Amino acid sequence: MAAPIVLHGHFYQPPREDPWTGRVDAQPSAAPFHDWNERVHAECYRPNACAGISTEEGERVVNNFERLSFNVGPTLLSWMQKADNEIYSRILDADKASRERLGHGNALAQAYHHTILPLDSVWDVRTQVRWGLRDFEHRFGRRAEGMWLPETAASDETLRILIEESIAFTVLSPYQAARWRPAGGEWVESDHEAIDVRRPYRYLHPDGSGRYITLFFYDGEVAQSIAFGNLAASAEGLLNAFGERAQEGRLVHAATDGETFGHHHRGGEIGLALALFVETDKRGLEVTNYATYLEDTPQSTRCGCGRGRGPHGRAHMGSAAGAETADARRVARRVGPKRGENRCGPPSGSSRAMPTRCSPSLGEACCTIPGGPVTATST
């Protein structure tokens, strides 16, 4: 049996249009291109949608989005639809192709404006989630099964809203976990033992209804190596990293900024295409997506949520692919694709209360997220 793997790419650009003219002004720092949307598009989005590779059968053009789990921010898709409709259409077609191949599409929705949801009001969180879902339905022609949270930032309230909006799963950083336990097992603090990222976990809605969302914690070491190492440009290195962790039936997955492939690492789209379309079969690896894996993997445990604080009073801020969380009293160490600092907890001087701790029931993992831990079950 082939070992399942998932590589997720988070593709995003902020809205750069002048609100008065609706056009993107020239950005000299993006030279020789007119602006950064055009530059990143030429270096990443187009090359990944039309990746040329050499195979034993000859030259071939592939669409990496057909094998890559991905989300593309609504503001980026809105720009792309007008700027390069061909590539926009290829991304939508890739989701259709993955549905035909796997039964579930590769695409995930994204909270609409890429705001840090735990810092939003409850009203704004629900608005961002609903707008993201509706935009996804409008473009992809189907209901989103999963949603990418900006910077993977989450809170108890955020996850409850995702459950109430019928979102089946999301992806978090492994460093957001505070403690966990397998079904029927004892609690293990993450300070003593890292959470097993090769299995999904459940977060149970606290209303007692039994509703839940599945949490996938990506492999932080692989994500970091893709973002800052040489894995993005090498099919061999990329698959070696996945293959070393592969076990029959256990998912190996990582998440990173999609711009890693081609923009941050030139030529990365070629290594990615060779890995996902050519080399995986030779190594006994099966490229799948999160929704398909969930359908194929029976789940038998559950979790609940209570109140309290994370270990050592920590309130963690999740960050983008490969990025870490930190104590609320210090700056988070960046190990993912995003650059710059990310401070945890509410803004200085803010009276915003930090979220609460979960008190799990049978077979859960409690995961610390921005503003507090989350309870999730191992499956």
Q: Which helix (H) or strand (E) holds 245?
A: helix 235-245
Global pTM reads: 0.81
Rounded to an integer, what is the distance from CA 165 to the centroid of its chain?
18
> Is 3-16+29-171+212-296 assigned to CATH 3.20.110.20?
yes
Task: Give the Å distances, CA to CA, from 281 to 17, 54, 351.
Answer: 43, 16, 53
pLDDT at position 187: 76
Q: Return the half-sphere exposure (C-beta side, CA atoms, 13 A cut-off) of residue 63.
A: 19
333 Cβ contact partners less than 8 Å away, ≥ 6 residues apart: 324, 326
Of the candidates 339, 340, 309, 300, the one whose C-alpha atom is nearest the C-alpha of residue 327 is 309
pLDDT at position 12: 97
Q: φ and ψ at 7, to 5 degrees?
A: -120, 120
Per-residue burial over 270-308, b if 16 or more Cβ lie within 10 Å, else e, is: bbbbbbbbbbbeebebbbbbbbbbbeeeebebbbbbeee
pLDDT at position 305: 29
Of the candidates 366, 253, 378, the one whose C-alpha atom is nearest the C-alpha of residue 316 is 366
Rounded to an integer, what is the distance from CA 96 to the centroid of its chain?
20
pLDDT at position 184: 75
What is the C-alpha separation between 359 and 308, in angstroms, rounded? 8
pLDDT at position 378: 56
> Per DSSP, what are the bridge partners of residue 344?
none
Q: What DSSP character marks residue 17?
A: B
pLDDT at position 229: 86
In order along its 379 residues, the chain shows pLDDT tens digits of: 789 999 999 999 999 999 999 999 999 999 999 999 999 999 999 999 999 998 888 899 999 999 999 999 999 999 999 999 999 999 999 999 999 999 999 999 999 999 999 999 999 999 999 999 999 999 999 999 999 999 999 988 999 999 999 999 999 999 887 777 677 777 778 776 778 899 898 888 989 999 999 999 999 999 999 999 888 878 999 999 999 988 767 899 999 999 999 999 999 999 999 999 999 988 999 999 999 999 988 653 333 222 222 222 222 333 333 322 222 212 222 223 333 333 233 333 333 333 333 323 223 344 444 444 454 555 5
For residue 49, give the 3-state DSSP assignment: helix
Identify the sign of the CA torsion 196, 256, 153, 204: negative
No. of H helices and E strands in the chain? 11, 15
What is the C-alpha separation between 311 and 172, in angstroms, rounded? 19
